[in-house]
Amino acid sequence: MDLNRVKQILSSSAEIDVVYNGASVWIDHLSEDERTATVHLRGPLEERTTVEISELQEKI
């Protein structure tokens, strides 16, 4: 995924499906300088991890 799309998703009020390593995730924070995003799995677990934005995919 590219930087501009991550920004659009973060600012959107719509629920947009994003996938990381085959799992649906929420994007919590974007670090533009490092080109990384903090994400957590959808569901009861709130464990957060930092990933490269290039590894995120929008589920269409």
Distance, in Å, from the CA atom of 47 to the CA atom of 51, rounded to the nearest integer, reads: 13
Looking at residue 52, which CATH number applies to its domain? Answer: 2.30.30
Say yes or no to pLDDT of 9 above 80: yes
Q: Are 13 and 6 in contact (CB under 8 A)?
A: no
With tokens 């590219």, the residue in question is 2
| Domain extent at residue 53 | 3-58
Per-residue pLDDT tens digits for 22-48: 999 999 999 999 999 999 988 777 789
Count of structural domains, the chain? 1
Q: What is the pTM of this model?
A: 0.87
